[in-house]
Chains A and B, each alone.
Chain A
Amino acid sequence: MSKLSRNSVGVAALAFPTWAYLAFFFIIPVALVLWYSFGFKPDLFTAHDNSVLSLDRYFETADPTFLSTFWNTLQIAGVGTLICLLIGVPFAYWLAVKVPSRWRALLLALVLVPFWTNFLVRTLGWQILLAPEGFLSDALQTMHLTTGPLSILYTRAAVQLGVVYNYLPLMVMPLFVAMDRAGASLREASRDLGANRWRTLWQVTLPLAAPGIASGCLLVFIPLMGDYITASVLGGAQGNMVGQLVANQFNSAQNWALGSAMAVVLMIFILLTVAIVGAVILAVRAVLRHNRRVVMDRTDIESAVIEEAAA
C-alpha cells in the first residue's frame, strides 16, 4: 500500500512538466475567464471589475443576437466538421491503402502545405480569390460559367468554404494515422475470409480507425466553434460567428465580464456537444457489438468469464 502511494507520488512528480504546462496554459486562463464572467463593467474606461459578483452577465448573453450567432456558429462548425469528415475519410483511406508508400510522405506534405503560412494570411488569400472583381470571378465570367460577378464573398458559403480549407488537414492527419495503423495484413485477412472491399472497409478499416475519426472530429469541431478569423475575413455581416462576438467584447467594447461570460457559455456548450456525440457513438458501438456477438453452443465459456473476472 505504502509502496503503491509512494509510486504514484513519484509518477505525479515525473509528470510535473505536464502539470505545469496544463496549469499555465489551460487551468489558470480558464479560471481567470470564469472569475471575470462574474464581474461587471464599471464605467466606460474600465474593462472589468470583480468587486460585486453576480450571474447577470450570463443573463445578458441570452439576447437574440448572441443566440442567433450561436446557432449560426453551431451550424457552420457542424457542417464544416461533416464536410471535413466526408472529404477526409476517402482521402485518408486512399492515402493509407491505395497510394504506394514512396508517394505517401510527399502527399502528406502537400496536405500540410496550408500550414506553412499564417492562418490569417491564407484566409485573406481566399478573400482575394473569391472577391467579385477577383481573378476567379473574371475567369468564370470569361468562360461563361457564371453571368455577372461572383457573389460568394461575405456569405455563409464563403465562411463554410474557408473553414473546410483551414481545418481539413487537422481531420486528415489523425484519420491517416489511424487507417495506416490498421495495417494491410488485417485487410488481407478480411478479404481472405470472404469479405469484399466494401465490407472490409466497414467491418475492419473503419472500426479500427474510429479513435482517429473521433479525434479528427474533435480537432476540427472545437477550434472551429471558437474561430473568428475565418468569419471576420470571409463572412462579413452574414457569416458572423460567436468567436467574433467574444473578441468584440474584449477588444472594441472593452467589456471583459460579458466577453468572459460568452466564452464560458461557449465552452460549456462545446463540452455538452462532445458529450452527447460521444454517448451516441458509444451507443452505436454497443449495438454493433451486439449484432456481431457469437452465441456459443455450450455454456462452459462461463469458466472463461470467471477466469476473466479473476484476472
Chain B
Amino acid sequence: MTQQSTLAPPVATEAGSVQVRNVVKRYGTATAVAGVNLDVRSGEFLSLLGPSGCGKTTLLRMIAGFEEPDEGDIVLAGSSVVGVPPHKRPVNTVFQAYALFPHMSVAENVAYGLRQRRTSRAEIGARVTEALDLVQMGTFATRNPKMLSGGQQQRVALARAIVNRPKVLLLDEPMSALDRKLREEMQLELKLLQRRLGITFVFVTHDQAEALSMSDRIVVMLDGRVQQVGTAEDIYTNPATSFVAGFIGKQNFIAGTVAGNGRLVTADGEIAAADADAAPAGSAVLAAVRAESITVSTVRPDTDVNVVKAAVGAVSFLGETIQYQLTTGSGHELLARVPPLHGELLPAGSTVWCSWAPAHVQVFPNPHPSTGGQ
C-alpha cells in the first residue's frame, strides 16, 4: 500500500502508460491469452506472475509488437499500437535469453539502438558510457559478449535497453539464468534503477519471491487470464481465488461445507473462519490456511476451535523455518512452517496438536468439489 502512494494517479495518456484491452491471442486451437485487461500506470513496476505456459511471454510479445492480438487493443501513451511494427513502438525489451549480438562488442551492442536513431557519435559515446556505468559494466566496454558471465550479459542487455530511454521497459524473466545471490543483488539494482529513471517496468517472472519484493503491483495469471491485480500485500493477505492463495506461499487447502454459524464442516471436525459466512450455507468451499499460520505443539492448546490432532511425518530444516509434514486423523496432509527458535525439534512419528487462528483462514468456493478440491 505504501508503495502505491508514491505513484502518480493513473492517467491513460501519460507517456509510460500501457493499456491492454480484452486482448485475445490464439495459436491454432490453443488460446495463449484469453481476454486480458490491464492498466499499467506510468512509472510503475508491474510484475506478471504465473505458472509456466499461462501466457506471460505472449502478452509481453504483443506489447512489444512481435505478435499481434487476435482480438482487443493495446494502447501505449494513449494511442493504439495494434499494427505498429516493433521498431516503431516506444518500448524496449530485455529478452529472457539476453539476445546480445555476438558480432559486436559490449559497447557496440549498447550503441545499437542509438545508431538506428542516427544519434551523433559524440552523444552515442556519452550515453553508452552512462548506461554501462549504470549497470557497472563500464570496464567491459570492449569485450565480446560471448566472453561475459551470465550475470554480466544480463546487465549488458539491460544497458542496451535503457540507453534508449524508453518510456516502457518489458523484461521477460531477465534473471532466470542467475544464481540466487547474483539474482538478489540484481533485483535490488534493478529496483533502484527503475526508481531513478522513472521508467515503467512490465516484468515477467514465475518466481513469486521476486515479484513480491520488487513490484508496485502484481498481476497473477492462470491459463491466459488475469486472476488478480494488486500490491504484494493485497495478494498475500487477500487472495482473490484459491489459485492465487495457493500460488503465493505454502498453503494448506481443506475441503468443507459452510455450516452457517461462522464455521465450516470438514472431515477433521469444524473450522472457524473469520469470513466463513461470505459463502451461502451448505456450499462446498476450500479453507486455506498458510503453512506459517499453523502452530504446532505437543500439548493441546487452550482453545476449542481450529485444533487438529496430527502425526508428524517428514521434518525438514529449511533455514529460516522448520517444515513439518503432518497427517491428520482423517488422513489429510498438512504442512506447517515454524521458526526454529520456537521450541525444540519434534521427531517424526510423534503426535502433535495443530492450531490456527480463525482470522488466518481464508474461504474460497471449491472449484472441484467432487475431488475434495485438490
Contact = CB atoms under 8 A, between A and B. Distances in A.
A300 B117 CA distance: 27
A197 to B, nearest CB: 8
B219 to A, nearest CB: 22
A296 B141 contact: yes
Contacts of B105: 294
Interface stretch (A133-141, A156-164, A187-195, A228-236): A187-195
Contacts of B161: 193
Nearest to B93: A192
Contact of A293 (B108, B113, B117): B108
Contact of B101 (A186, A293, A298): A186
A68 interface: no
Contacts of B64: 192
Given A191-B66, A297-B125, 14 more contacts: A189-B95, A192-B91, A193-B161, A196-B87, A203-B112, A293-B107, A294-B141, A295-B125, A296-B129, A297-B126, A297-B130, A301-B141, A304-B139, A304-B142
A308 B147 CA distance: 10
A195 B87 contact: yes
Contacts of A305: 142
Contacts of A104: none
Identify the 10 closest CB pairs spanning chains A and B, nearest first. Answer: A193-B113, A194-B116, A189-B99, A297-B129, A294-B107, A191-B86, A185-B99, A295-B125, A304-B139, A195-B116
A193 B139 contact: no
Contacts, number: 99
Contacts of B347: none
B164 interface: yes
A222 interface: no
Contact of B102 (A194, A199, A208, A301): A208
B99 A301 contact: no
A308 B85 CA distance: 39
A100 B166 CA distance: 32
B132 to A, nearest CB: 8
Interface residues of B, number: 44
Contacts of A185: 95, 97, 99
Given A186-B101, A199-B116, A192 B143 contact: no
A144 interface: no
Contacts of B91: 192
Interface of B: 64-66, 85-87, 91-93, 95, 97, 99-105, 107-108, 110-113, 115-117, 121-122, 124-126, 128-130, 138-143, 160-161, 164
A296 B131 CA distance: 11
B164 A193 contact: yes
Contact of A301 (B87, B139, B164): B139
Contacts of A293: 107-108
Contacts of A304: 139-143
Contact of A192 (B86, B102, B139): B86
B108 A301 contact: no
A172 B143 CA distance: 33
A118 interface: no
A207 interface: yes
A284 B92 CA distance: 31
A281 to B, nearest CB: 14
B245 to A, nearest CB: 36
Interface string A146-160: 000000000000000
Given A193-B164, A292-B108, A300 B99 contact: no
Nearest to A304: B139
16 contacts: A191-B66, A192-B66, A192-B86, A192-B91, A193-B92, A193-B112, A193-B113, A193-B116, A194-B164, A204-B101, A292-B104, A292-B111, A293-B107, A293-B108, A294-B128, A297-B125
A185 B100 CA distance: 9
A190 to B, nearest CB: 7
B152 to A, nearest CB: 12
Contact of B121 (A207, A208, A295, A298): A295
A160 B198 CA distance: 62
Contacts of B104: 292
A235 B85 CA distance: 50
Interface string A282-299: 000000000011111110
